[in-house]
Amino acid sequence: MNNLQQYDPEIFHLIEQEERRQRDKIRLIASENYVSTAVMAATGSVLTNKYSEGYPGKRYYEGQQYIDQVESIAIERAKTLFKAEHVNVQPYSGSPANLAVYLAFLKPGDTILGMALPHGGHLTHGAKVSISGKYFNAEFYTLDETTGRLNYDAIRETALRCKPKILIAGHSAYSRILDFPAFRKIADACGALLLVDMAHFAGLVVGGVHPTPIPYADVVTTTTHKSLRGPRGAMIFCKQEYAAAIDKAVFPGLQGGPHNNTTAAIAVALKEAATDDFRLYAQQIVKNAQALAATLLDRGFNLVTGGTENHLMLIDLTNKGITGKVAAKALDAAGIVLNYNAVPYDTRKPFDPSGIRLGSAAVTSRGFKEEQMVQIGKWIDAIVADPSNLQLQQETATAVQRLCIGFPAPGLEHLAA
């Protein structure tokens, strides 16, 4: 970083501050993680200089001798790791990956059916503010108001009524394991393609603590960060019969040249994900999430679905007399970073909702175990109970920093304590 420090000290200083923030705070944002030094090295490599429209062996620019090998390695590692027939590793992120699937199989106005955003779905699953909800006729299924869980009979009824071209299974804030065989049956009953968005739980699939959607879905999309612990990119898996349509939708349909530095970093992350250490990490993610959930339940917090089976949990703070936004900002000041989030049947607006979302992937990458998660739960309880207590926030932030020093973050080992 010496060159950057000398040439642009302003940006260097901000990066340095962000490094220290990631070192000194407990990061519970469910979509974040820490990547290894090796992944960061690939991301920051000279591959960022190369333009490579097309696919390995069929490019529109010369000088692809090494780029083709990098992308081919990433593809083969992904196919082997996820046991997939075909994979495209070029999507820039999860949202363009989902959009590429729509481009491959839909026309404007066609119907898609996904989980409603306030119930744990994602913007790209048909939310009206997203292109997916503007260009297509988006229908939604919701969580059961009593159990807070998916009701597959109700999803089937909705699917048979609206006859979607694509049925979407996936989430950004649902804490239970999805029933992929049930979704497959529903898709078959209504004549839909089944798209699974496993962006949040791909690392858990690799680690063997979450069922894989690959045998059941026609197409599967995922980001490569979150629980998979790679760079900010995406992949699309599909059955061989859809390979040409997916590849054509990504390029030239939606994107130009791939980000070769990201592709290389994806390859590195996939190599890491094939190890026994990664499987142990995935197992600990779930243990940590459940330890935190149990601690919060014991202290009267209302967890949507009543617990968790994956890496995240969604908490409705209505019974605590505090909004999600107020709680999130107070917790951030106390060194605990998470996001405010809408909850099912929320009566508040999205920018000031009733809930907060927590995830365990990043702290697990630091080496936190159940003991540390219990302590985090106690801190959250104290801050939420007294969100205007600035002294408590400062004392907690100091304690959080002290805890974090004992668990060096991957990729930040160079920072002095």
β-strand partners of 194: 167
224 and 266 Cβ atoms separated by less than 8 Å: yes
Strands 355-359 and 339-341: antiparallel
Hey, what CATH class is 41-273 in? alpha beta
CA distance 231 to 353: 30
Residue 122 marked in a binding site = yes
pLDDT single digits (tens) 206-226: 999 999 999 999 999 999 999
Residue 119 marked in a binding site = no
The residues, ordered by sequence, that sit 6+ positions from 281 with a Cβ below 8 Å of its Cβ are: 203, 207, 229, 364, 365
Which residue type is seen at 181?
P
pLDDT single digits (tens) 98-109: 999 999 999 999
pLDDT of residue 414: 81
Identify the band that residue 1 occupies on the pLDDT scale cut at 50, 70 and 90: confident
CA distance 228 to 208: 12
pLDDT single digits (tens) 306-323: 999 999 999 999 999 999
Residue 112, CB-side half-sphere exposure with 13 Å CA sphere: 31
250 and 219 Cβ atoms separated by less than 8 Å: no
- Looking at the domain 276-405, which fold is it? Aspartate Aminotransferase, domain 1 (3.90.1150)
CA distance 216 to 239: 10
Which residues of the chain form CATH 3.90.1150.10?
Answer: 276-405
Helix, strand, or coil here: 354?
Answer: coil
Identify the band that residue 415 occupies on the pLDDT scale cut at 50, 70 and 90: confident
| Active centre residues (catalytic) | 51, 53, 197, 223, 226, 232
Question: Of 255, 247, 238, 234, which is closest to residue 58 (Cα–Cα)?
Answer: 247
Which residues of the chain form CATH 3.40.640.10?
Answer: 41-273
- Give the CA radius of gyration of the chain: 21
**Considering the chain, what percentage of its residues have pLDDT values greater than 70?**
100
The residues, ordered by sequence, that sit 6+ positions from 244 with a Cβ below 8 Å of its Cβ are: none
Looking up tokens 């939708």, which residue turns up? Answer: 249
Residue 123 marked in a binding site = yes
Question: Of 174, 173, 178, 164, which is closest to residue 113 (Cα–Cα)?
Answer: 164
pLDDT single digits (tens) 263-277: 999 999 999 999 999
The H-assigned helical ranges of 299-389 are: 324-333, 361-365, 370-385
Overall pTM > 0.85? yes
Compute the average pLDDT of residues 174-192: 98
